[in-house]
Amino acid sequence: MKNKNIRTQSELAKKLGITKNQLSVMLSEKNSPFKSNIQLLSKTLEVSPLEIITSVDLEGIDSQVNGVDQNKEYVDVTTVVAHRRYNVLELFAGTGGLASGLEKAGFNTVGLVEIDKYAAESLRINRPSWNVIEGDIIEVANRGIYNYLPPNIEIDLLSGGYPCQSFSYAGQKKGLDDVRGTMFYYYASILEQIMPKMFLAENVKGLTTHDGGKTLKTMISIFESIGYRVTYHILKANDYNVAQKRERTVIVGIRNDINEKYFLPKPYAYKPVLRDA
């Protein structure tokens, strides 16, 4: 690439007219490239398709964090220092409970989609600088999420808590079209549009047993078909300094071309009660 005066992955993505995230997926060894992708790269770099397939000279993926013990299941988040501020887009934002937690963790919120006008107003009052996208997620997804975001923005994380809804199980192999019409469909649709490095989805604890476990299994299958390695956890609020015993299902996905692990925050030793709040 250097002999074409293209020094970085970002510059190549700009020449191709796609995002850096989309280029990362296109060039991943774990991705099966389509003929059109190879042709586009060949034309832009003015090389043969064979050179595209056999040699890729790109900048590496940034390390996510410092101070993580690779041998432990949990990490003390007070010791973790990010190399930079990562961008997050939130769907089903409500009044910003999840968004405020991500803000405290150092994320830069570039957009929040919320249909309820009172919740959207609350977001604007509490965070005047946030890009609150007040509207129906169906319309936002169908129009394209990038129409609501700053130009040339790269999304590192998609977050949100979509409602738990039943699916139709007529087909043997689940694809995104099989869940069309559900709120999960529009979360997954926007995920596919932006292809961030990771996604985070939270839901009720009952999601794991909803419809005999079929609902969660279908969600994971669709996330995997989009291009993510997926795991889920049941987390307790009072493990993390919240004075309630609520349990939530947390689903985490890492894009297939990123060979990184993540660790859950280490639970607090003290469990707060109501009088502590």
Catalytic residue among 93, 164, 216, 252: 164
Integer angstrom CA distances of residue 110 from 87, 89, 148, 212, 214 = 6, 6, 10, 37, 33
Q: 3-state class of 84 per DSSP?
A: coil
Classify 175 in phi/psi space as left (phi over 0), alpha (psi -120 to 50) or beta: beta
Q: Are 199 and 227 in contact (CB under 8 A)?
A: no
Tell me the two tokens of residue 31: 């991705």
* Length reported for the chain: 277
Q: Classify residue 210 by its DSSP letter.
A: G
Provide the Cα torsion 59, 65, 67, 73; round to 10°. -110
6, 188, 190, 195, 256 from 228: Cα distances, Å: 28, 11, 14, 9, 5
Query: Does 164 participate in catalysis according to the annotation?
Result: yes
- End-to-end Cα separation, the chain, in angstroms: 57
Report how far residue 89's alpha carbon sits from residue 199's, in angstroms, rounded to the nearest whole number.
Answer: 9
Nearest-angstrom CA–CA distance, 75 and 70: 9
> Catalytic site residues?
164
